[in-house]
Amino acid sequence: MVRHALLQLRPQKGQIRRNLAHLGEALLRLEDEGIDVAVVPEAYPTGYFLQGGVRELALEAAELEDRLAAWHERHYRRPLDLVIGFYERDGSAYYNAAAYFELGGRGLVHRHRKIFLPTYGVFDEERFLNRGHELASFETRFGRVAILICEDFWHTVTATTLALQGAEVLYVPSASPARGFDGERPANVERWELLARAVAGEHGLYVALASLVGSEAGKLMSGGSLIAGPEGELLARAPVFEEAALIADVDLERIAPVRYDNPMLADLKAGLPLIFPELRRQVEEL
């Protein structure tokens, strides 16, 4: 079993030191729970709605690693893997990124840069950020995993690609403003759960969604973090609109038998030669 904690946190806009300290406090409260992997939402160190402030507040991945490693060395007694979303500066380019750190071990293991930058409605990402251009699964000390950021996950071809690469867990840091209030929970939260369960069940893997809460730029971040299992079942769900630490055990030994009984991924691999020519044609027409 790999014990996960999804930290549904409320950042203060632009207050990187305060936000990282708040993260540290949340982790220390869970230290006796034996957490192996903690997952932190999209853009948590700075808050999500920065617009032009990204240029001033973005961090280099090495700088974030140094801050987290120093905290871990001072305060934490055991190794801890951490998935965290942040605005990244790389030379003159700026990205909405998420990194997988092995604190007390290898440090930065992998970094994903958001590919799909929403620039519609309340969103304005492509005006201020560069697109990522890579989808890659990677090995951790627990197994093969991958990261997608918010809208990346809404295009199911991304999860399909990563499942074909062998990913057994998809980590999804998110910042999702609440919308649609006709039901018990906001409609976007219901949609996230439906999508996460469908992707997990189709590919026989785990989906771990960590979503921001709080008020930013007049928008309420909804929360509703969750973990879905490889049969499409909901393993755990956080409340909406409030901070929470969602703890769930992930059993990677379940994946092989689930995929054997429901061989959707194997069927997809067998069918790829049939659909690839059409996919290639679509790309060539762009």
The pLDDT assigned to 121 comes to 86
In angstroms, how far is the first alpha carbon of the chain from the final one?
44
Please give the structure tokens belonging to residue 53.
């402030």
Give pLDDT, residue 283.
87
User: Is the CB of residue 196 less than 8 Å from the CB of residue 154?
Assistant: no
The tokens for 181 are 């209030």
For 46-87, how does the pLDDT look when each residue is reduced to its tens digit (9 = 90+)?
Answer: 999 999 899 999 999 999 999 999 999 999 989 999 999 999
Q: Which amino acid is at 102?
A: E
- Report how far residue 252's alpha carbon sits from residue 229's, in angstroms, rounded to the nearest whole number: 10
Q: What is the pLDDT, as a whole number, of residue 184?
A: 83
Express as a percent the part of the chain with pLDDT over 70: 100
Q: pLDDT-derived band of residue 269, with 50, 70 and 90 as boundaries?
A: very high
Strands, DSSP E only, in the chain? 2-8, 37-40, 80-90, 93-103, 107-113, 138-139, 144-147, 169-174, 206-211, 213-216, 219-222, 226-228, 234-237, 244-250
Query: pLDDT averaged over the chain?
Result: 96
Q: Are 87 and 57 in contact (CB under 8 A)?
A: yes
Give the pLDDT score at 17.
Answer: 98
Q: Which domain holds residue 187?
A: 2-284
Given a cut of 90, whether residue 165 has pLDDT beyond it is: yes
- The DSSP bridge partners found for residue 8 are 244
For residue 17, what is the domain's CATH number?
Answer: 3.60.110.10
Q: How many degrees, rounded to 5, is the angle at CA 175 between CA 173 and CA 181?
A: 130
User: What pLDDT is attached to residue 172?
Assistant: 98
188-241 pLDDT, tens digit per residue, is 999 999 999 999 999 999 999 999 999 988 899 999 999 999 999 999 999 999
Number of domains forming the structure of the chain: 1
Q: In this prediction, what percent of the chain has a pLDDT beyond 90? A: 90
pLDDT at 182: 84
Instruction: Say whether pLDDT at 181 is over 90.
Output: no
Q: Is the pLDDT of residue 98 over 90?
A: yes
pLDDT per position as a tens digit, 240-267? 999 999 999 999 999 999 999 999 999 9
Q: Position 277: which residue type? A: P
| Listed range (27-36, 70-79, 115-124) with the worst mean pLDDT | 115-124
Sign of the dihedral through C-alpha 54, 60, 66, 72: positive
Residue 64 is predicted with a pLDDT of 98
pLDDT at 24 over 90: yes
